Amino acid sequence: MKKINFKDLINGHFKDNFLLYILSALCIGIGFVIGVYIVKYMSSPEKNNLLSYLIDFTKNKSIDAGSYKRIFFEAIKNNIPLILVIWFLGLTMIGIPIILVIDVLKGFTLGFTVSFFISGFGVKGIGMAMLAIIPQNLIYIPCILFLSVIAMEFSIKLIKDSSNTPIGKRLFSNLGSYSLVFTFIILIMFVGFLFETYCTPNVIKFIAINVWSANC
C-alpha cells in the first residue's frame, strides 16, 4: 500500500491553486481596506454614537456563565453559516464570484472593527485590537481563505471535467472528501470561538471601562 506523503500533498495543493489563493487573499485585503476607509469617512456623530454604545454596553453588562454561553453561540452563528454557504457554493459550478464576495465581506468586517477601535480608543484601541480582535481572526481568516480556495477548486474541477460521467455522479463521488475538509477546518475554528467567548469580552470590557474612567 502506497504511503500518503501529506507534505507533498499540501505542497501540490498550494502550487496548483496559487492563483486562487492570491485572488481570495486579494479580496479579503480589499474588504479590509474598504472597512478602514468606511470608518475614516464616518461622521463624528456616528462614531461617537457607536463609541458611547460600546462603552455603555461594556460598563453595564456583567459577564457570567449565561453571557459566555450566548457569546459562544453568537460566534458560531457568525461563522458556521458562512462556512456552509461557501461549502454549498463550491458544489454549484457558478458560485466562485459569490465566494469572492464573501471574502470581501469577511475582510470588511475585520477592517471596520480594527479601524473603529483604533479610531475611537487611540493607543488603547491598538491594544484592544491586538488582544481582543486579531487573535481569533488569525484562525478565522486563514480558515476562510483555505475553504474559499477548496470550494473554488472543487467548482472548477466540476466545470473542467470533460468526461461523459453524469454531473451528479461526479459530484457525489468527491463529496465525502470535500465535506471532510470543511468539517476538519470547522473543528479548528472552534479554537477561535473559545477565545472569542472567554477572552475577547473581558479584554474589551477592561479597556473600554478604563478609557471611560480616564475620560470622565
Which pLDDT belongs to residue 178? 92
Cell readout for 163 is 468526461
Q: Are 102 and 28 in contact (CB under 8 A)?
A: no
Here the cell at position 93 is 459550478
Q: What is the pLDDT of residue 58?
A: 60
pTM, two decimals, is 0.85
Give, for all 216 residues of the chain, the pLDDT tens digit: 455 666 777 888 889 899 999 999 999 999 999 999 999 888 777 777 777 766 665 655 566 667 788 889 999 999 999 999 999 999 987 899 999 999 999 999 999 999 988 887 777 778 878 888 889 999 999 999 999 999 999 999 888 775 556 656 666 667 888 999 999 999 999 999 999 888 887 777 776 666 555 554
Nearest alpha-carbon partner for 38 in 110, 124, 98:
110
132, 134, 140, 145 alpha-carbon torsion, rounded to 10° = 160
* pLDDT reported for residue 53: 66
pLDDT the model gives residue 1: 45
CA distance 26 to 31: 9
C-alpha cell at 185: 477546518
For residues 139 and 216, give the distance between their C-alpha atoms in angstroms, rounded to a whole number. 37
CA neighbor of 161 nearest in space, from 98, 93, 97, 95: 93
On whether the CB atoms of residues 93 and 171 are closer than 8 A, the answer is no
